[in-house]
Chains A and B, each alone.
Chain A
Amino acid sequence: MNLSMEQKRVLWQDRFGISLADGQIGVALAGNPNVGKSTIFNALTGLHQHTGNWPGKTVDNAQGGFQYQQKSFVLVDLPGTYSLLAHTVEEQIARDFLCFACPDVTVIVLDATCLERNLNLALQVFEITPKVVVCLNLMDEAQKKRLMIDVPSLERRLGVPVVATAARQGVGLTELQEKILQVASGTLQTNPHQVVYSSEVEKAVKHLLPMVGSLANNALSPRWLALRLLDGDSSLLDSLSNYLGVDQDWEGAQCAQSR
Chain B
Amino acid sequence: MRAVTLTRSLSEVWCEAEAVRKSYPNSFSDQIVADIYGNAEQITKQVLSNKGSNRSSIDQKIDNLVTSKWLGYPLMLLLLVCVFWITIEGANIPSGYLSTWLFAFQDQLTLWFQWIGAPAWLHGVLVLGVYRTAAWVVAVMLPPMAIFFPLFTLLEDSGYLPRIAFNLDHIFKKAKACGKQSLTMCMGFGCNAAGVTACRIIDSPRERLIAILTNNFVPCNGRFPTLIAITSIFIGSAIASYSGLINAVVISGMILLGVGVTLLVSWLLSTTILKGEPSSLILELPSYRRPKFGAVIYRSMIDRTLFVLRRSLIVAAPAGAVIWILANLYIGEQSILFTMAHALNPLGKLIGLDGIILMAFILGLPANEIVLPILIMSYLSTGALQDFGSLDELRNILVLNGWTWLTAINVMLFSLLHWPCATTLLTTYKETGSKKWTFVSFLIPTVIAFTACFILTQVVHLLGLL
Chain B 280-293, CB within 8 Å of chain A: the 1/0 string?
00011011110010
Report how many residues on chain B are interfacial, defined by Cβ distance under 8 Å.
Answer: 71
Known contacts A55-B283, A145-B56; is-contact A232 B21 (Cβ 8 Å)? yes
Does the CB pair A212–B50 fall under 8 Å?
A: no
Q: Does residue B333 face the partner (Cβ distance < 8 Å to A)?
A: no
Known contacts A50-B299, A115-B48, A201-B31; is-contact A157 B13 (Cβ 8 Å)? no
Does the CB pair A201–B32 fall under 8 Å?
A: yes
Q: Does residue A208 face the partner (Cβ distance < 8 Å to B)?
A: yes
Does the CB pair B44–A119 fall under 8 Å?
A: yes
Stretch touching chain A among B62-70, B158-166, B229-237, B435-443 = B158-166
Q: Does residue B242 face the partner (Cβ distance < 8 Å to A)?
A: no
Give the residues in chain B near A250, CB-CB below 8 Å.
Answer: 9-11
Does the CB pair A201–B183 fall under 8 Å?
A: no
Give the residues in chain A near B34, CB-CB below 8 Å.
Answer: 198
Q: Point out the residue from A141, A247, A254 that lies within 8 Å of B287, measured CB to CB.
A: A141
Count of A-B contacts with CB under 8 A? 210
Give the residues in chain A near B161, CB-CB below 8 Å.
Answer: 52-54
Q: Does residue A177 face the partner (Cβ distance < 8 Å to B)?
A: no
Give the residues in chain B near A259, CB-CB below 8 Å.
Answer: 15, 18-19
Within 8 A of B (CB), among A203-259: 204, 207-208, 211-212, 214-215, 217, 226-227, 229-234, 237, 240-241, 243-251, 253-256, 259
Q: Does residue B462 face the partner (Cβ distance < 8 Å to A)?
A: no
Give the residues in chain B near A52, CB-CB below 8 Å.
Answer: 153, 156-157, 161
Give the residues in chain A near B180, CB-CB below 8 Å.
Answer: 56
Does the CB pair A56–B201 fall under 8 Å?
A: yes
Within 8 A of B (CB), among A107-163: 113, 115-117, 119-120, 122-124, 141, 145-151, 153-154, 157-158
Known contacts A208-B20, A248-B3, A259-B18; is-contact A229 B43 (Cβ 8 Å)? no
Does the CB pair B56–A55 fall under 8 Å?
A: no
Give the residues in chain A near B28, CB-CB below 8 Å.
Answer: 201, 204, 230-232
Give the residues in chain B near A33, CB-CB below 8 Å.
Answer: 284
Chain A nearest Cβ from B427, distance in angstroms: 13
Task: With a 10 A CB-CB cut-off, give which of A52, A88, A193, A195 has the most chain B CB atoms.
Answer: A52
Known contacts A157-B46, A215-B6, A256-B15; is-contact A89 B302 (Cβ 8 Å)? no
What are 12 A-B pairs with beta-carbon distances under 8 A? A50-B303, A54-B156, A54-B162, A147-B50, A147-B51, A168-B295, A204-B28, A226-B17, A229-B14, A237-B14, A245-B2, A250-B9
A53-B158, A255-B18 are known; give 5 further A-B pairs, CB within 8 A.
Answer: A54-B159, A113-B287, A201-B28, A211-B16, A246-B4
The residues of B with any CB-CB pair to A shorter than 8 Å are 1-4, 6-11, 13-21, 24, 28-29, 31-37, 39-41, 43-44, 46-53, 55-56, 153, 156-159, 161-162, 165, 180, 183, 197-198, 200-201, 203, 283-284, 286-289, 292, 295, 298-299, 302-303
